[in-house]
Amino acid sequence: MIKSLDNIEFIDGNKILGEGAYSKVVRIKLKSDGKFYALKIIDLKEISSEDASNLTNEIRMHRQI
Protein backbone atom coordinates (compact mmCIF):
# COMPACT_ATOMS: atom_id res chain seq x y z
CA MET A 1 0.00 0.00 0.00
CA ILE A 2 1.22 3.48 -0.84
CA LYS A 3 1.52 5.58 2.29
CA SER A 4 3.18 8.67 0.81
CA LEU A 5 3.34 10.36 -2.59
CA ASP A 6 7.05 10.87 -1.90
CA ASN A 7 7.55 7.17 -2.72
CA ILE A 8 5.96 7.47 -6.17
CA GLU A 9 7.55 8.34 -9.50
CA PHE A 10 5.07 9.11 -12.26
CA ILE A 11 6.11 7.47 -15.56
CA ASP A 12 5.67 8.79 -19.11
CA GLY A 13 4.88 12.33 -17.97
CA ASN A 14 1.78 11.21 -16.08
CA LYS A 15 0.25 9.81 -19.30
CA ILE A 16 -3.29 8.54 -18.71
CA LEU A 17 -3.64 4.80 -19.36
CA GLY A 18 -7.40 4.79 -18.89
CA GLU A 19 -10.31 6.89 -17.68
CA GLY A 20 -13.65 6.25 -16.07
CA ALA A 21 -16.57 8.34 -14.89
CA TYR A 22 -14.74 9.64 -11.82
CA SER A 23 -11.16 8.43 -12.09
CA LYS A 24 -8.11 8.01 -14.26
CA VAL A 25 -5.30 5.44 -14.25
CA VAL A 26 -1.62 6.32 -14.65
CA ARG A 27 1.61 4.31 -14.62
CA ILE A 28 3.90 4.76 -11.63
CA LYS A 29 7.11 3.33 -10.23
CA LEU A 30 7.55 2.83 -6.51
CA LYS A 31 10.90 4.14 -5.37
CA SER A 32 11.00 1.64 -2.51
CA ASP A 33 10.94 -1.50 -4.68
CA GLY A 34 11.57 -0.21 -8.23
CA LYS A 35 8.48 -2.01 -9.57
CA PHE A 36 5.91 -0.52 -11.93
CA TYR A 37 2.23 -0.29 -11.03
CA ALA A 38 -1.01 1.21 -12.26
CA LEU A 39 -2.39 3.87 -9.92
CA LYS A 40 -6.05 4.81 -9.97
CA ILE A 41 -6.62 8.48 -9.15
CA ILE A 42 -10.12 9.31 -7.95
CA ASP A 43 -11.50 12.85 -7.82
CA LEU A 44 -13.57 12.62 -4.65
CA LYS A 45 -15.07 16.08 -5.26
CA GLU A 46 -16.76 14.79 -8.41
CA ILE A 47 -18.14 11.53 -7.00
CA SER A 48 -21.88 11.01 -6.47
CA SER A 49 -23.34 8.86 -3.69
CA GLU A 50 -24.05 6.11 -6.26
CA ASP A 51 -20.45 6.28 -7.52
CA ALA A 52 -19.22 6.15 -3.90
CA SER A 53 -21.20 2.95 -3.38
CA ASN A 54 -19.77 1.46 -6.59
CA LEU A 55 -16.27 2.48 -5.50
CA THR A 56 -16.73 0.82 -2.11
CA ASN A 57 -17.75 -2.39 -3.88
CA GLU A 58 -14.75 -2.15 -6.21
CA ILE A 59 -12.35 -1.73 -3.29
CA ARG A 60 -13.94 -4.72 -1.52
CA MET A 61 -13.48 -6.88 -4.64
CA HIS A 62 -9.83 -5.85 -5.07
CA ARG A 63 -9.08 -6.72 -1.45
CA GLN A 64 -10.50 -10.22 -1.99
CA ILE A 65 -8.27 -10.89 -5.00
| Residue 53's CATH number | 3.30.200.20
pTM above 0.85, yes or no: no
Q: Quote the number of domains for the chain.
A: 1
Between 3 and 8, the more confident residue is 8
Per-residue confidence (pLDDT) for residue 1, from 0 to 100: 67
User: What would the pLDDT profile of 6-57 be if each residue is shown by its tens digit?
Assistant: 889 998 887 899 998 888 999 999 998 999 999 999 888 888 888 889 889 9
- CB contact at 8 A, 25 and 38: yes
Q: What are the respective helix, strand and coil percentages of the chain, to the nearest 5?
A: 40, 35, 30
Q: Which domain does 38 fall in, by range?
A: 5-64
